[in-house]
Amino acid sequence: MSNGWVPPDEVLRDAPAYSPRPGELADLELLLTGAYTPLTGFMTRADLVSVSRRSRLTDDVPWSVPVTLQVPAALAERLDVRDPAHRTLVLTDGEGAPMAALEVTDAWPVRDGVTGVGGPVRRLGDGGHGPFQRLRRTPEEIRSLLPPGRVLGVVADRPLHRPQLAQIAHATRTLGAHLLVLIPIGEEGGELPPEALIRSVFAARDRMPPATLVAVPLPRRREEISDALLRARVSAAYGVTHLLSTGEMLSGAGLRVLVPRELAYDNRDGQWRWREDIPPRNRRQALTQAEIDDLLDRGFPLPEWHTPPAVAKELAHARPPRRYRGLVIFLTGLSGSGKSTIARGLADALREQGERTITLLDGDIVRRELSAGLGFGKADRDANIRRISWVAAEIARHRGVAICCPIAPYEQARAAARKMTLATGAGFLLIHVSTPLEVCEQRDRKGLYARARAGLLTGMTGVDDPYEEPTNADLTVDTTDLTVEEAVQAVLHQLAETGWVEPRHPSM
Ligand SMILES: Nc1ncnc2c1ncn2[C@@H]1O[C@H](COP(=O)(O)OS(=O)(=O)O)[C@@H](OP(=O)(O)O)[C@H]1O
Ligand SMILES: Nc1ncnc2c1ncn2[C@@H]1O[C@H](COP(=O)(O)OP(=O)(O)O)[C@@H](O)[C@H]1O
């Protein structure tokens, strides 16, 4: 799948390597497969200016969305954009395997320590790996498979339920088109893991007209219009002539965009038809995403009138009831606030229930095993929390419960922990053990506060080091006037209320 020129071995051997962030990697993949034709690389400054001013590249091709790569400034300094022998950057995937060579023809400061780089990219290696690789066919391959005539494109970024399937069937029939379903698998952290999205779309296949399906590493743009334009452009590269809008889609990239009318379920005959054609008393609206999520979270099957059973089965598997799903319970608070004590009690109670494996990432053990050598400066505390969060998220990914109880004084690090966990599809509960400093200091189990007050220890959280109070805790527990049992019960109660654990049987 290599496309043309590859830098000579000696250039590659000496070239620095860099692993782009997930969104950039997805852009890279689309550049390499030709889905971004005629773009052949990351944009230079001139292209970016041109795109933002007049929605065209410098060579006049219409293009409206920036496709950029940013690298650490220190790395960019090792390149010389004027010297073809010293301006190649090897781009690697998340695991460090080379994916492409970027010939950096332009580099510019973006902000402190970060440099934008632009230039053509060329594939290295054999075209990547990962689940469902066989579905990631290039635009060229797909175009060669499509029958002549109209091609209706559907970007299936969500599972297809009966209302969407009815719309697709209607549009395909009206247009007399072949159906091409593009499944975007750009980034983790969507509503469903990419593999589950693919499986759920395939599960609806026998309810679709004859279709070609392709997985596309489409990154999600933060901005809706850019997102829609990019989807339209990529769809066009795959041979789509008409695109069925998913609601927020706009026209662009020279293809027709169909905005479907809203369908509803007609309980007189079990058909989905235009909403206005059904008398209100016989009409059932499609479920909202929140309603679907809520049913799955509580362990109810999705109703057959709304979702084909095969799709419902995939979704129930991908989003099991909360009580069977991975979970990170993250306790934060001052030293001596009661985090470890509560965490231990919680771990014991959850182990009694025996549904899932319980891992207690206890402070002392973490500092000894995972974070040995780290101190208590901001950078070291951040590194400590990042390591704990990574391990916890992996445990939760595999449907275990991880209980963490570090001080975690910085909001940003806690937010990153939440994000990392949610990206795995697991749950995250932040519990602020808010016992005030005076009480913690009175307890002073380890004598640290006394030493800090005596000036023998510096950088003690709450004394001369910051603790940023959480403003987004799922639960706040002040242990000043609680017994240990009461504090543990408060957390268990919250877990049962939100469905993350089964309520305890009263007789136990
Ligand atoms: N300077 C300073 N500040 C705060 N805490 C200190 C410090 N030096 C040592 N200790 C002991 O280390 C424990 C906190 O480690 P953590 O890994 O939880 O801290 S952090 O989340 O990385 O900030 C903490 O344990 P806990 O009392 O269990 O919270 C302290 O006993
Ligand atoms: N309701 C309560 N919850 C938790 N700990 C409590 C409570 N009441 C008193 N304590 C005492 O407070 C101390 C908390 O210490 P620890 O759990 O190690 O805190 P941290 O892990 O936050 O540093 C323990 O000695 C514990 O027995």
Mean pLDDT to the nearest integer, 331-341: 97
Burial status of residue 445 (CB atoms within 10 A of its CB: 0-12, 13-18, 19 or more): exposed
Q: How many A from CA of 335 to the centre of ligand 1?
A: 6
For the cut 70, the answer to whether the pLDDT of residue 142 exceeds it is yes
So what's the pLDDT on residue 506?
Answer: 54
9-123 folds as: Sulfate adenylyltransferase (3.10.400)
* Ramachandran angles phi, psi of 31, nearest 5°: -65, -45
| Mean residue pLDDT across the chain | 91
So what's the pLDDT on residue 442?
Answer: 97
So what's the pLDDT on residue 249?
Answer: 46
CATH entry, 132-319, from 3.40.80.10, 3.40.50.620, 3.10.400.10, 3.40.718.10: 3.40.50.620
What gap in Å lies between CA 364 and CA 370, rounded to an integer? 10
Q: What is the dihedral of CA 264, 159, 398, 331, to 10 degrees?
A: -50
At 8-55, the pLDDT tens digits run: 787 888 899 999 998 899 899 999 999 999 999 999 999 999 999 998
Q: Where are the domains of the chain?
A: 9-123, 132-319, 322-497
Question: Which listed ligand is nearest to 447 at the C-alpha?
Answer: 1
For the cut 80, the answer to whether the pLDDT of residue 191 exceeds it is no
Q: What is the dihedral of CA 240, 245, 246, 247, to 10 degrees?
A: 160
So what's the pLDDT on residue 95?
Answer: 85
What gap in Å lies between CA 97 and CA 449, rounded to an integer? 48
Q: Which helix (H) or strand (E) holds 45?
A: helix 45-54
For the Cβ of 286 lying below 6 angstroms from any atom of ligand 2, the answer is: no
- The residues with which 117 forms a beta bridge, in sequence order, are 69, 107
Q: With respect to CATH, is domain 322-497 assigned 3.40.50.10490?
A: no
For the cut 70, the answer to whether the pLDDT of residue 133 exceeds it is yes
What gap in Å lies between CA 159 and CA 154, rounded to an integer? 12
At 94-122, the pLDDT tens digits run: 888 899 999 999 999 999 999 999 999 99
| Domains 132-319 and 322-497 fall in the same CATH topology | yes
At 238-284, the pLDDT tens digits run: 999 999 986 544 444 567 888 888 899 999 999 999 999 999 999 99
* HEC per residue, 132-189: CHHHCCCHHHHHHHCCCCCEEEEECCCCCCHHHHHHHHHHHHHHCCEEEEEEECCCCC
- The two tokens of residue 47 are 């292209």
For ligand 1, residues with CB inside 6 Å are 335-336, 340, 363, 367, 376, 381, 384-385, 406-409, 446, 448, 459-461, 465
What gap in Å lies between CA 105 and CA 156, rounded to an integer? 36
What ligand 1 atom has the least distance to the C-alpha of 333?
29
So what's the pLDDT on residue 274?
Answer: 93
CA 491 to chain CA centroid, Å, is 28
For the Cβ of 332 lying below 6 angstroms from any atom of ligand 2, the answer is: no
Residue 425 and residue 319 in contact, taking contact as beta carbons nearer than 8 Å: yes
Mean pLDDT to the nearest integer, 438-448: 96
For the cut 50, the answer to whether the pLDDT of residue 373 exceeds it is yes
Closest residue by Cα to atom 24, ligand 2, is 338
Q: How many CA atoms lie within 13 A of 482 on its CB side?
A: 19
For the cut 50, the answer to whether the pLDDT of residue 3 exceeds it is no
Mutate to test the pocket of ligand 2, among 340, 341, 446, 449 (most ligand atoms within 8 A of CB): 341
For the Cβ of 20 lying below 6 angstroms from any atom of ligand 2, the answer is: no
Q: How many A from CA of 335 to the centre of ligand 2?
A: 9
Helix ranges (H only) for 374-453 are: 378-397, 411-422, 437-443, 448-453
In what side-by-side order are the strands of the sheet with 263-266?
271-274, 263-266, 283-284
Residue 89 and residue 12 in contact, taking contact as beta carbons nearer than 8 Å: no
- The two tokens of residue 23 are 């969104």
**Strands 271-274 and 256-258: what pairing?**
unpaired
Q: Residue 415, Cβ neighbours under 10 Å: how many?
A: 13
What gap in Å lies between CA 368 and CA 247, rounded to an integer? 52
So what's the pLDDT on residue 254?
Answer: 62
Residue 428 and residue 301 in contact, taking contact as beta carbons nearer than 8 Å: no
Residue 168 and residue 207 in contact, taking contact as beta carbons nearer than 8 Å: no
Q: Is 17 helix (H, G, I), strand (E, B) or coil?
A: strand
Closest residue by Cα to atom 29, ligand 1, is 335
Residue 349 sits at the vertex; the CA angle it makes with 343 and 354, to the nearest 5 degrees, is 120
At 51-90, the pLDDT tens digits run: 999 989 999 988 888 999 999 999 999 999 999 999 999 9
